[in-house]
Chain A
Amino acid sequence: MAVPKRRMSRANTRARRSQWKAAAVALVSCPQCRSPKRPHVACPTCGTYNRRQVVEPSA
């Protein structure tokens, strides 16, 4: 099995990990309650999708 010959430097490790980035979640405003929600997903605040009540509002 292939194994590393040399210890990887801190700089190389950190340079690689600097690319581990979290992407911001895309948000749109709910047409019903104006609160931010994810597109194509029922609003978690008012529980509507396309102004149609899908689920009971959570919290």
Chain B
Amino acid sequence: MPKPTKGPRFGGSPAHERLILANLATALFENGRVRTTEAKAKRLRPLAEKLITKAKKGDIHNRRQVLTVVRDKGVLHHLFTEIAPTFAERPGGYTRITKLGPRKGDAAPMAIIELVTEQLNPVRTTRTAPAAQAAPAAAPVEADVEETPAAQDETAEAPEAAEQTAQGEKKDEA
């Protein structure tokens, strides 16, 4: 049994839904960001990221497959030649959704979905903490005094690393 699509359905028919999502994806690749409802942004993200993955492969077969969704050849060219190379190092998570709160008129929750343009800073896993703890335990008390500024430096660096990882996680969530 096929697994149902995640998220709500749009439009009056499957063809209408495909058109809505295809138009949103085209607008996203054309402008870099789209302001839409949260539900549509959440449906658009997997589609757009799969298209970018195809664009990163970049051969003629993938180009024809993307062309079935993104009908505009100008936007297709922009996607393959300018957007895809910027994501060469990024292992997925090409888009970010930021919630904007309810819309005036019908109070629909709005969001902005945008292509991630920030430089990828890979998450550093530090194994230095056990070694730093073992060193003061073995060393005498005088050495421990010397160790404390270094430990403070590490703790000062640690929140930055934590923030970076947190931002990375937020990017994944958004």
In the complex, per-residue mask of B129-156: 1 if CB is within 8 Å of any chain A CB, else 0: 0000000000000000000000000000
CA distance A54 to B101 in the complex (A): 13
CA distance A52 to B128 in the complex (A): 31
Chain A interface, >50% SS class:
loop
CA distance A50 to B99 in the complex (A): 12
Is A38 interfacial (CB 8 A cutoff)? yes
Chain B residues near A54: list those with CB within 8 A.
Answer: 98, 100, 112
A56 CB, nearest partner CB in chain B, Å: 11
Chain B interface, >50% SS class:
strand
CA distance A49 to B100 in the complex (A): 9
Instruction: Give the A-B pair count, Cβ closer than 8 A.
Output: 22
Is B78 interfacial (CB 8 A cutoff)? no
In the complex, per-residue mask of A36-57: 1 if CB is within 8 Å of any chain B CB, else 0: 0010111010000110001100
Q: Which of B89-139 contact A (CB under 8 A)?
A: 98-101, 112
Chain B residues near A38: list those with CB within 8 A.
Answer: 101
The answer on a CB contact under 8 Å between B112 and A50 is: no
CA distance A42 to B101 in the complex (A): 7
Chain A residues near B170: list those with CB within 8 A.
Answer: 50
Say which size band chain B's interface belongs to: under 10
A31 CB, nearest partner CB in chain B, Å: 12
Say which size band chain A's interface belongs to: under 10
Chain B residues near A41: list those with CB within 8 A.
Answer: 99-101
Given A54-B112, A55-B112, A42 contacting B100 (CB threshold 8 A): yes
The answer on a CB contact under 8 Å between B98 and A49 is: yes
A43 CB, nearest partner CB in chain B, Å: 9
A44 CB, nearest partner CB in chain B, Å: 6
CA distance A2 to B83 in the complex (A): 62
Task: Enumerate 22 A-B pairs (CB-CB under 8 Å) in ascending A order.
Answer: A38-B101, A40-B99, A41-B99, A41-B100, A41-B101, A42-B98, A42-B99, A42-B100, A42-B101, A42-B112, A44-B100, A44-B101, A49-B98, A49-B99, A50-B167, A50-B170, A54-B98, A54-B100, A54-B112, A55-B35, A55-B100, A55-B112
Q: Give residues in A with beta carbon < 8 Å to B.
A: 38, 40-42, 44, 49-50, 54-55
Q: Give residues in B with beta carbon < 8 Å to A.
A: 35, 98-101, 112, 167, 170
